[in-house]
Structure formats: structure tokens, C-alpha cells
Amino acid sequence: DGDTPVPTAAAAPAAGAVARPAKLGLCMACHGADGTSRTPGTPHLGGQDRLYLERALGDYRSGKRQHVPMTSLANSLQPADIEALAAWYAAQPGFAAGAAP
């Protein structure tokens, strides 16, 4: 029915509402804890779309997407880690806060 609010990609939960993932340390060197890229060529992740992040990590894990070092890092993640990392980065300010309304 038309009343059910359609979840929009930009409606990320507040940063404080998401637990810090156990494996965040694997990501921080390049992506930062807040998802601000540390080096040109490395994507920003803060506020990114959660489903996209889950799919990207899943693709690195399955080999559908190849990249050094993402492939080996993703292989060390369990599905629960992937969900926790995607939720964490999606909840960081980054895109969501800066995006046009």
C-alpha cells in the first residue's frame, strides 16, 4: 500500500546507534574508522549505502570483485563481520550528512 514508508538509502541510523565492529581494525588504515579515505584512489565509505557496502564486501569475498588487498581482507570476514562493518560505515556522517536533501 502507499502508506508504508519506503526506506531511502540516505536515512542512515545515527552513528552512535551502531556498535564498533570487532574487525574495524582491518579497514582503518586505508578507509579510516569514520570512512574518510586516507589515500587518493581509496573510496570514502562514511555514510555510504549499507546494502551497497554489504554487496561490495560479499563480492570481494566471493571473488566476483578482485582487488589487492580487499580480496584477502574480505576472505578473513564472516558474514556477521560484513554486516557489522557495512552498518558501521553506513552510519558514519560522510555522504548521508553532506548529501543534498
Q: State which of residues 23, 24, 34, 70 lies at the interface with its own copies (CB under 8 A).
A: 34
What are the cell numbers at 18? 551502531
Should residue 62 be labelled a site residue for its own copies when binding is judged by CB under 8 A? Answer: no
Min dist. Cβ of residue 29 to its own copies (A):
14
Binding pattern for the stretch 68-87 against its own copies, x by CB under 8 A and - elsewhere: --------------------
DSSP string of 43-64, one letter each residue: PP-TT--HHHHHHHHHHHHHTS
Cα–Cα dist 84/25, whole Å: 13
| Alpha-carbon 95 to chain mean position | 11
Binding site for its own copies (CB under 8 A): 7-10, 32, 34-44, 46-52, 55, 64-66, 92-100
